[in-house]
């Protein structure tokens, strides 16, 4: 049978190639842990960590609580693993029960789980139970040592650890935060917000440097009282300010050792599109509000720090700047606009149906792609709507500048690079404070 193609030859191309854009609404909490072997995992509730073996007092659980306790929060939180090298477990009380250690590790690409156990009695010494458990753990793939009633489980390779009738004393990690974050980033996941378990100044500075280079919004908090001392410039907020980090925001919080106000703030604000939100005047669930002296608040804010304060009948966040002095929401919106405009222009180039010609018409294809991102920025609230000035002249939301094809040199056209395209957009900003001066009189 003859093909109809001989009469009518129809070719339909699919100009539908989509360009992936980054998410600016997902958070990552990095902590040393032995809950699983993955460099990163996504959880949808804090109690999932308890099912993996975390304790209610563990920082990873407290951080997840801060995230998921907010009335509005993203559906998931990423947990990044900083590798642990050793864990100390104590037999604090002898009783008639089973004492158990379960270790999982990778062997030849496969996960191998092994358990060591011993049975104690109420008459035994805790040190004797610890020694018996060490003997039973001789072949579970990790190094186990004992000192009196304390067992130390250590390994140069990643391992998970679960235990029964033992009390964790401490965990030790020799991996740098930079190496851990690089490994976590390689593992995948589309995240923008970053927080860590450590409050040590050296750790915070190391992570802030990584976040700046990788354009991740890093939040931290500190209870160091030196932050409220205007005569001191060696505290962590002062050091971050001196570095001028645009991707790090710091909070002074008196309970920062066990609470994570930065994660709570991220969780609430990440439910808004970039441009729709400000990070000041935000209510946070599950975070203890501070009652601070006004003089202390002034000092914290002079160091570009933020607070979460009690105003009597309500508690809200204050300031909301990055260490560089820029508003957090402006940095987030800028990153979103950049990513979105890159994607829109790339889409126009790839799906042009052959090519984008180096003509006025072709340049307009690029300009229209830029306009698409900017219009969405206006719609989202990051860029101001058109307004009238004092002379009733229209103030446009943005202006795009671009050359005419005839003004571009042949040499530049030969390189097939379009240059001198740009413009400016008016930020919508946000109102944080209001000053009202009013009077009462018998006549106006």
What pairing do the DSSP bridges indicate for beta strands 27-32 and 77-82?
Answer: parallel
Residue 353's pLDDT is 83
Question: CA 52: distance to chain centroid?
Answer: 22
Question: CA 244: distance to chain centroid?
Answer: 19
CB 106, CB 158: distance < 8 Å: yes
Q: Where are the alpha helices (DSSP H) in 271-327?
A: 294-302
Residue 14's pLDDT is 56
Phi, psi values for residue 334, rounded to 5°? -60, -45
Question: How far is 18 from 398, CA to CA, in rounded Å?
Answer: 26
CB 215, CB 342: distance < 8 Å: no
pTM of the predicted structure, to 2 decimals? 0.92
Residue 17's pLDDT is 59
DSSP symbols for 180-232: HHHHHHHT-----EEEES---HHHHHHHHHHHHHHT-EEEEEE--GGGG-TT-
Cα of first residue to Cα of last residue in the chain, in angstroms, is 95
DSSP symbols for 90-104: E--S--SSEEEEEEE
Residue 7's pLDDT is 44
Residue 190's pLDDT is 86
Question: How far is 117 from 140, CA to CA, in rounded Å?
Answer: 11
147: left (phi over 0), alpha (psi -120 to 50) or beta: beta
Q: Give the single-character DSSP code of 31.
A: E
Q: Which helix (H) or strand (E) holds 40?
A: strand 40-43
pLDDT by residue for the chain (444 residues), tens only, comes to: 666 554 455 555 555 555 556 679 999 999 999 999 999 999 999 999 999 999 999 999 999 999 999 999 999 999 999 999 999 999 999 999 999 999 999 998 899 999 999 999 999 999 999 999 999 999 899 999 999 999 999 999 999 999 999 999 999 999 999 999 999 999 987 899 999 999 999 999 999 999 999 999 999 999 999 999 999 999 999 999 999 999 999 999 999 999 999 999 999 999 999 999 999 999 999 999 999 999 999 999 999 999 999 999 999 999 999 999 999 999 999 999 999 999 999 999 998 888 999 999 999 999 999 999 999 999 999 999 999 999 999 999 999 999 999 999 999 999 999 999 999 999 999 999 999 999 999 998
């Amino acid at each position: 049978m003859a093909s109809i193609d001989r009469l009518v030859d129809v070719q339909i191309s699919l100009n539908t190639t989509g360009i992936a854009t980054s998410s600016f609404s997902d958070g990552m909490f990095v902590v040393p842990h032995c809950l699983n072997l993955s460099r990163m995992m996504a959880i949808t509730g804090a109690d999932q960590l308890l099912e993996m073996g975390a304790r209610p007092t563990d920082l990873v659980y407290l951080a997840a609580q801060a995230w998921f306790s907010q009335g509005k929060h993203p559906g998931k939180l990423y947990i990044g693993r900083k590798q642990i090298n050793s864990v100390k477990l104590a037999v604090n009380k002898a009783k008639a029960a089973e004492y158990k250690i379960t270790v999982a590790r990778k062997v030849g690409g496969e996960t191998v789980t092994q358990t060591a156990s011993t049975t104690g009695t109420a008459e035994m010494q805790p040190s004797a139970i610890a020694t018996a458990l060490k003997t039973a753990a001789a072949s579970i793939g990790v190094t186990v040592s004992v000192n009196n009633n304390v067992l130390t489980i250590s390994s140069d390779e990643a391992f998970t650890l679960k235990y029964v009738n033992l009390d964790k004393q401490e965990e030790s990690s020799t991996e740098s935060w930079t190496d851990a974050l690089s490994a976590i980033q390689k593992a995948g996941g589309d995240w923008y917000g970053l927080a860590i378990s450590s409050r040590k100044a050296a750790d915070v500075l190391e992570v802030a440097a990584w976040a700046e280079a990788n354009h991740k919004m890093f939040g931290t908090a500190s209870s160091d009282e030196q932050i409220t001392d205007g005569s001191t410039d060696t505290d962590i907020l002062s050091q971050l300010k001196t570095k001028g980090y645009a991707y790090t925001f710091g909070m002074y919080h008196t309970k920062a050792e066990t609470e994570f106000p930065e994660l709570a703030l991220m969780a609430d604000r990440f439910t808004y599109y970039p441009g729709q939100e400000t990070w000041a005047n935000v209510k946070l669930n599950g975070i203890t509000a501070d009652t601070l002296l006004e003089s202390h608040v002034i000092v914290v804010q002079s160091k570009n720090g933020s607070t979460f304060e009690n105003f009597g009948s309500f508690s809200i966040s204050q300031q909301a700047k990055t260490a560089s002095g820029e508003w957090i929401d402006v940095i987030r919106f800028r990153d979103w606009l950049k990513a979105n405009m890159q994607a829109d222009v790339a889409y126009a180039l790839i799906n042009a149906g052959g090519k984008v010609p180096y003509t006025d018409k072709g340049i307009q294809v690029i300009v229209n792609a830029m306009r698409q991102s900017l219009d969405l920025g206006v719609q989202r609230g990051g860029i101001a709507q058109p307004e009238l000035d004092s002379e009733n002249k229209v103030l446009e939301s943005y202006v795009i500048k671009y050359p005419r094809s005839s003004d571009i040199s042949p040499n530049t056209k030969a390189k097939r690079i379009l240059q001198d395209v740009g413009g400016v957009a008016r930020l919508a900003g946000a109102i944080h404070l209001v000053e009202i001066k009013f009077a009462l009189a018998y006549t106006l």
